[in-house]
Structure formats: C-alpha cells, structure tokens
Amino acid sequence: MHAVFGDNAQIVTTTNPQKNARILIASYQTLNITDADDEPRFWRENYPPNFFSHIIIDECHRSAWGKWSIILKDNPDAVHIGLTATPRTIVGGKRNDPARQADEAITAHNIQYFGEPVYEYPMWMGQEDGYLAAIEVVRRVVDLDQREITREDIESRTATDPFTGRQVMPEEIEERYTATQYEEKLMLPDRVRAMCADLFRHLLDTGGPHQKTIIFCVRDTHATMVAHEMNNLYRD
C-alpha cells in the first residue's frame, strides 16, 4: 500500500488509531474484535459510525458471521469488499461429509452477503500465468499416527514440552496421545527426525534439494526443531 499511496496508508496499532490517514490497515485483534474481547472498545472509541467509505476484508470467509461483522454493521453506507480463496464450487467428497457441508455453508453465506463475485482468478489460470505450480498431492502416513501412544511408550523415549522445550517428566505425561496432539502438546524428536528425513528423500527424488519448499509447523518450538533437522540433512 505504501508503494502506491505513500503516507496516506498507515498501519493501525493499539496505541495509534491513525485516524488522519486515508487508508487504514488493521487486524481484528488490533481493533479488539475477537472472541476473546467482551466489547470492541478500541474500535468504537476511535471510529464513529460510517467513518469509512470502503472496507476490504481479507479471508472474509473465516469469521464472516462472528464478532468482526460489527465493522460492516457500523459502516452500512460503505462499499464492502470481501476477498477469499475459498472456492464457490465444492468438488470431491461425499455429500454428507461434515467438512464438505461446512465448506458449502461458507460459500453460500459469502454469496448471500457479498453477492456474486465481481472478479475470479481460478487456480488453473494462476498456473498458466506462472504464479502457481500445478499441485500433486502425495500422502505420507507415519506409522506412529496410526495408533495411540501410551504413557509407557513415551517414558521409553525422549519427549519435550512444546512450550518450554524442557524434557517432560513421567508424572506430567497424560495416559494417551493421538496424532493431532503431537507437536501441539508433546514433542517427539524421533518423529520429527523421521518426517524430515522422509521429506528430504522426496526432494532428492523429485528434482533435488534446492526446490522452493514451505514446511508448515504447529508452533515455534516445532519449527525450530524441524529447521535444525533439515539443516543437518542439507549439511550432510
């Protein structure tokens, strides 16, 4: 925004509402509009009704009908523009699949509120234009994820706390853990090491280790451990 509008575009902070700028950029958290906030005091104290002429909401599908809608309700005369990468047509999956039904509900609500899209840029066009790589889903299954891990299993391994990084004591271990809790509640270095090695082998087999790669991690401590393991693999 600065490249186009210069000082007319400013980022809102909790100490500076930037009301004199023509274009304000903020997150819901900055405006005190989240599920954790009882009332959006910062928003209401600084921006009177119909203060804005245009409102652009990124990822508009995420909490469209939650507390953030107060921004739209307080500015009924503004132009409301919603941006989302959620497809309007759901392809694949079973009709009674709750995940598919949730996606279809999001799509229906977006169209109901914002109307038909005024601009669409489908994935295939992004691929043809060279912005996106054609995707291929390669599924990997970790044998540990196929079963629960018990207290006895963990006591025989090295396990660390994702928040503090210190080793977990036996009395702190829960009776059972499932795949969705690893890295969220329990760090297992050997699991991280095995998954990184598997990814590295995949890179070697599909064009070499210098491909552009994004690895999504659960939290900072997980990301630090993955970076350490990948650095070791690249060094070797």
State how many domains the chain has: 2
CB atoms within 10 A of CB 207: 9
Euclidean distance between CA atoms 205 and 198, whole angstroms: 11
138 found inside a domain: no
Could you read off the pLDDT of 43-73 as tens digits, one per residue?
999 999 999 999 998 888 765 566 788 898 9
Between the CA of residue 135 and those of 103, 123, 126, 138, 199, what are the distances in Å? 21, 10, 12, 9, 16
Q: Which domain holds residue 66?
A: 2-126
> Is 21 contained in some domain?
yes
Q: Is residue 133 part of a domain?
A: no
**pLDDT cut 90: percent of the chain above it:** 33
Q: pLDDT tens for residues 157-189?
A: 667 766 666 777 766 776 666 666 677 667 778
**What's the pTM value of the predicted model, to 2 decimals?**
0.55
Strands 176-177, 149-150: pairing is antiparallel
| Same domain? 156 vs 122 | no
The answer to whether residue 169 is domain-embedded is: yes
